Each structure stands twice: as C-alpha cells, then as structure tokens.
Chains A and B, each alone.
Chain A
Amino acid sequence: MSRTARTVSAGIAVALAFGITACGGSGGEDVAADKKQTLTVWAMGAEGEKLADVAKVYEKANPNITVKVTPVGWDVAHQKLVSAAAAGTMPDVAQMGGSYMGEFSELGVLEPVDARVFDKGDFFPAGWNQGEVDGTAYGVPWYVDTRVLYYRTDLAEKAGIAKAPANWQEMQDLATAYQKKAGTKWGLSIQPSGLDTVQNFYSFLYSAGGEIVNDKGEAVIDSPEAVKALKEYGSYFDKGLSNKSVQPGYDVVKDFGNGRVPMFFGGPWHVTLLNEGQPQIKGKWAVANVPADKASVSMAGGSSLVISKDSEHKAAATEFIKYLTDTKGQADWYERSKDLPANTAAWTSGTLADDAGLQVFKKQMDTAKSTPSLPKWTEITDKVDQAIAKVTQGKASAEDALDTAQSEIEGLVK
C-alpha cells in the first residue's frame, strides 16, 4: 500500500531528472531517405507485434533501411511515451492514440505532417482530425475504429423483433423485449460510472447533436441536446435495463456469448474476439449502426503515426509512414490485423468492400466524430464521467449534473 506514494514520487522525480538532462536536445540534422539507416518505431499492443512482420517486408524492398519495431503494451504506453518525451528519447516513428495528440503536441515533441506527401482527402475526416491540433496535423491516421451496436439476432427473434433498432425508441423497446420475452439478464450493456464511461456515452451524445467542447473550443456540455442524451442514457439504469454496478475491467464478450447481455456498443476488435472466444454464437449476432436520434453518429478512435521532432531520420520515417498508409499498405494491414483502414480508398476492394458487417463500420465511420485534441482532454472527460455517474446512480438529474460539469469544464478550456 505505501508503495504507491513512493512510486508516485519516484515517477515524478525521474521525469524531472530526465527532463533536466533533455534540455539541450539535439536539433537533429536529417539523414537523406536513401542513406543506410535504422528507423526506430514504437507500436502498441497487438499492432506492435504485427508491425514487425510488415517491417520485414519493407526492409526487403528498401535494403538501406532497417526498421526496429518495439511493441509497447497499451497499459504502459502513455507513461512510456511521456518519459521518452521528457528524456528526449522518442523513437523516430510512434503510434499514438487519438487522445494523446493534444498532450504531445503541447509537449512540443512532434513533427508536423508533411502536407506535400499526405493528403487529408485520402482519409476519413474523423481519422484525420484526430491527428490535428489547432489546425496543424501532427499524425497520419493509421487505422480507425468506431463503436457500433452489437446485438444477438437469435434472442431478438425470440423476443419477437426481427430488425435492428434504428432509433432510440426502438433500441429501448428491443432492450425491454430481450429482458421480458427472451429472458436475458440485462437489455443493454453500458458503463454506469468509472474511468472512460464517456466512451459509452458518446454515441448518445453525438447522435443527439451534442458535444462536450465545440469547434470554437467552448464547453457546451449543458446544451439541451446533451441533457436529452444523458436522460436517455440514465433511463436504461432507471428501468433496470442496464447494470448499475461498477465493474472495472469488465469484458462484455463472455456475457454476450452466454446471453446475459444481448446488446453492447463495441469496436471492430470485438468481431475477432467474438468469433474466436464465443464460437457457439456464430451467426447468432450482428452489428448495426448506432441507433439514431437526430442522426446516427458514433465516436471515432484509432491511432495515428507520428514522427518525433528530434528524429534524424525524418525523410525515411515519412517514406515508411507513406508505405503504411497508402491504399495497398492499408489493405494489407487489414488482412494482418483486422484494424480498419483509415485510408478510404482501401475499402473499395476485397473483403473490405464485400463484407456487410464491415460496411456497417464504414458507414459509421463516414459520420463518426473524433474528440477534440485538447491537452486537458482527460481531465475534461473525467468531469463528464462524474456527471454520468451521478445520473446513473440516481444522485442528480441530468440537468443538474451537466450544469456542474459545464462550469467545471469551462475552467479547463482556455
């Protein structure tokens, strides 16, 4: 227990110590792309492991380049990147989650994207926007993800409903029918409170036309649209359709498989998880676009590839990123990783064009919204998490909870 306090202070101190030594960071002369050199690349989680294979293919075609891929676990990725930034030891190329961009551009360790090489128009708008901070792009979108509605078709049939819910009313009707007629434990799995609850709330908020912070950088979480969305979100808990209990680290896949939870909002990776982990329900579930209010708008996530400002291999790094994000590279990456291509042209052939389930993702991605790249974004969403918790626990009305969040967030946006 007392270890924590020590870890915290040690972490701070180490950051400080590295920071001091990093002050005289090298400006970095750039090595030409065709010279012999080694590129260091950091990629997270499963991507990190699969990228090494791609790197081998790339090395064969470009014998002068050696690509050294280091896989970094998602759970430590943020801290490792911050420490690297502090120490001035960022890799030449790094994968970065959309939510990191604001922070790292604030740290001043990212090289702006070369507009002569990469064209904004080639990518999903939400994908591109993630890499953009204050109008400058720092990251090239590598893959995207968005949340869609996963639902059990076999149980829906049992409940007497044949088609996917298209709007909020239909979704709630289906949730109720699942519970009443198909005997499921819950109707819909959404998170009641805790860190990143807001990720579940986005599909409600955006579909109602609300936002947390608007394009002008103003807090707008107390808008009527946001209130409406939170009321709808809260009603699932009021009516006992969703589980009020907090379960950090809860993985919905198993409960979806055994039918306790017949609906949840999931990302593209859930397709693989369900196919591999719950084969007994193969063909008994489907994906649908997020049920609409004003429109069907989901959140966009994914990762971008960034180049470190201190890198001495910017030219070669740009070439490598270009290779990973062009049409061919993206289609190849999908085959290897099942990550959804950020480059829209990659969707026009092969499995990506033919699979109906994938087209649901494509359609969702066309309108999906990415979160603004603000340095204090984690803190801002934490306020929204707290507002959601108050409502789902029945401690406050949606209006009151969001009023509080609004005034707190106003203090966090410039």
Chain B
Amino acid sequence: MSTTTGKAAQPAKVTAGPGASRSPAAGPGNHEGRRGRKKTSMGVQNAAGWLFSTPFLVIFTVFMAFPILATLLMSFTDFGLRNVTRPLDANFIGFENYVNLFGDERFLKSLFNTAYFVVIGVPLTIALGLVVAVLLNNGIDKARTFFRVGFYAPVVTTIVAVAVVWRFVLDPSDGLIAGVLSEVGLTSPDFLGSETLAMPSMIAMAVWRNVGTVMVLFIAGLQAIPTEVREAARLDGAGAWQEFRGITVPLLRPTLLYATVITTIGYLNVFEEPFVMTQGGPSDSTLTVSLNMYREGFNFFHMGYASAMAYVLFVVIMGITVLQLRLLKDNTK
C-alpha cells in the first residue's frame, strides 16, 4: 500500500508545477496540497486526472469522435475523388445518398449477404461455442488445456495465415476436402467459385475463427456457477440433460446474452473473410456491407456514398443490438 501512495503523490506534484500556471483550478491545490492532503487535493487530483486522460482524449477526439462526425457530415454530400484536394467544393445533397442506397441493387445484395451471414453464423457460433465449453468443462480432464488452446488458436491467428489454410482446405482440385472426397470416389464442389457455396464457406470459416472467443466466455460463465446448485440438482435426481437445461442454461444467460450481442455485431461488420478469400465474388455473392463500403470508398472514391453506407450499417447494428438486449433480458425474468 505504501508504494501505491508514493506513486500517486508523485505525479500530482508534477502536475502542480506546469499545470498551475495554466489552469486556475490547479492553483489553490498547489498551495494547500502540502499542508492538508485530504481536503485540498481535489483540485490537484482533478488536474492530474485530466492530465492522465489527455492522451486518451486526444486520441479519442482525433481518431474516433472527429471521424464519426466527419463521416456523418460527409454522408450528406457528394464527396468524391475531386474533393480530396478541394473538400469544400463537395455539394450538400441532403438524403440523396441514403435514398440512392435503397435503389442500389449491389447494396441491397450486400445487405442480404450480411443478413445471411449473421442469421446462419451467429446461432452456429454460439451453439458450438457452448457445446465445446460444456464438454471441456465437464468431460475431458487430462487434455483440457490442450483442447482449450486448440479451439482458441484460430482467434489469435492472423487472417492471412487463416486464408492460406482455408484455401488449402477448400481447394477443389487438391485441397483437403477434395482429397477426402476423392478417396470415396466423389469430386469436390468448387466452394469458393460457386455462388451458392461461397457464402456458406465464408460462414464456416468465420464460425471456426470465432468459436474460441465464445468458448472462453462460456467457460468463464460455467465456472462461475456454484457447485452447490449442481449438487442440489443432482440430489433431486436431475439427469445430465435436465441439469444442463434447468441449471446451466438459465445461469449462463448473462454470458449468453453478451456472447450473442458481440458475435452479432462482429458478424454484421464482417469484412476480412470475404476480403481475403473471394473479394466479394463470384458475382458479388460474398459481398458484405463492409466490403462494399470499402470498395465504394477506396476503390471508387465515392466517399459520401460510402459514409452513408457506414451510417446505415451503424443504425442496423444499433437496432439489432437494442432488440437483442430487450428480448434476451426479458426472458431471464
């Protein structure tokens, strides 16, 4: 404890020096600080607080708040390539970008693709994550760490390495799946080259990559369930399935809610998988909203339009999140 106090005191002194001349609030703190620590250090503490927050605040303003605001403004303009050097020449066009978006077949397709991705991908990720977590928590005793690491490894692997592996798995001529299928005399479908299979392949990849995150959340949730509750249930003669349904799932609800919300948000933003695997193809069948936004913005320089797209995506994400919080929370009561 003594070291903590020491540390806290030091920066406060530092602040008082240069800070005093600039901000009047720090002034009195400086003088009284030596005599009555408890009462008077508020001003110093405030100044120190601001000082320590400054790096974050600066970064937040420059890289978060300002871009968010600028994007909103830009979404109401026709900001294009020529405005990169003459930004003030961009015309204010009201809601035209937003109106155009909903007449844009490509955007609607990307919206549909994203919805497809979320509707199939989220339940799969959550269900698999839960199953794996329960198995690891109850079943395997010896190789538990090994399996945890195994399932978590994809989460921390870079997408480029993942792409190499998955391209090998999915390659229709000499990939892993093709190899297995040819053993039994079947030919492999062309996963990434087919409009119907490309999206399911993306989903499979994403589920594989994200099950680990969800699993870790669930394992933490499972370990927080008191053993007495389980023991009580067993004494009452509950079987494994009854215990799972009656004890595990209800007590895991907060974790379930959290995992569902973050997975949904992540999947609504899905970009990397199609970007490295198919670049949205074939024929836009894996073009997601994020990828579409990237293209419009950086390939075609339709900055205004891309900004509008970003805001539509934002509204969609917010709407769905609020809805999920309501639905899942109400059920717990």
Contact = CB atoms under 8 A, between A and B. Distances in A.
B300 A1 contact: no
B282 A193 contact: yes
Contacts of A20: 87-88
Nearest to A83: B84
Nearest to A78: B298
Contacts, number: 153
B81 A393 contact: no
Interface string B158-193: 000000000100011100000000000000001111
A295 interface: no
B202 interface: no
A5 B85 contact: no
B27 interface: no
A248 B276 contact: yes
A244 B190 contact: yes
Given A8-B306, A13-B67, A245-B172, A107 B85 contact: yes
B283 interface: yes
Interface string B283-322: 1100000100111011111010011001001100000000
B157 to A, nearest CB: 14
Contacts of B82: 106-108, 375
A2 interface: yes
B3 to A, nearest CB: 37
A39 B284 CA distance: 45
Contacts of B298: 8, 11, 79
B59 to A, nearest CB: 11
Among B63, B79, B281, B313, the one with the most A-chain Cβ atoms within 10 Å of its Cβ is: B281
Residue with the greatest number of chain B CB neighbours at <10 A, chosen from A10, A16, A22, A249: A16
For the complex, would chain B's binding face be called helix, strand, loop or mixed by DSSP majority?
A: helix
Interface in A1-23: 1-2, 4-6, 8-17, 19-20, 22-23
Nearest to B265: A2
A382 interface: yes
A193 B281 contact: yes
A185 B173 CA distance: 9
B85 A108 contact: yes
A12 B303 contact: yes
Given A2-B266, A9-B70, A16-B70, A194 B281 contact: yes
B279 A12 contact: no
A167 B152 CA distance: 54
A13 B193 CA distance: 36
Interface string A179-216: 00000010000001111000000000000000000000
A107 B295 CA distance: 20
B173 A243 contact: yes
Given A5-B310, A8-B306, A247 B192 contact: yes
B147 interface: no
Contacts of A86: 84-85, 87
B195 interface: yes
Interface stretch (B50-58, B224-232, B246-254, B267-275): B267-275
A246 B81 contact: no
Contact of A378 (B267, B269, B300): B300
Nearest to B304: A12
A22 B85 contact: yes
Nearest to B171: A245
B71 interface: yes
Interface string A291-317: 000000000000000000000000000
Given A1-B266, A244-B190, A246-B282, A17 B173 contact: no
Contact of A192 (B193, B300, B314): B193
A376 B71 contact: no
B193 A246 contact: yes
Given A23-B88, A245-B193, A247-B167, A9 B283 contact: no
A12 B85 contact: no
B256 interface: no
Contacts of A335: none
A107 B82 CA distance: 5
Contacts of B45: none
A246 B70 contact: no
A4 B303 contact: no
A291 B320 CA distance: 55
Contacts of B71: 9, 12-13
B295 to A, nearest CB: 8
Given A2-B265, A106-B81, A245-B193, A15 B303 contact: yes
A20 B281 CA distance: 37
Contacts of A194: 278-279, 281
Given A107-B81, A194-B278, A379-B300, 9 more contacts: A4-B294, A6-B64, A8-B293, A9-B67, A9-B71, A16-B79, A375-B82, A393-B283, A395-B195
Interface of A: 1-2, 4-6, 8-17, 19-20, 22-23, 79, 82, 85-86, 88, 103, 106-109, 185, 192-195, 243-249, 375-376, 378-379, 382, 386, 389-390, 393, 395
Q: Rank and list the top 7 A-B pairs by shortest CB-CB distance, nearest first.
A: A13-B67, A19-B87, A13-B70, A245-B193, A4-B271, A9-B71, A2-B269
11 contacts: A1-B269, A5-B293, A8-B297, A13-B67, A15-B303, A20-B87, A243-B173, A245-B172, A245-B191, A246-B278, A393-B194
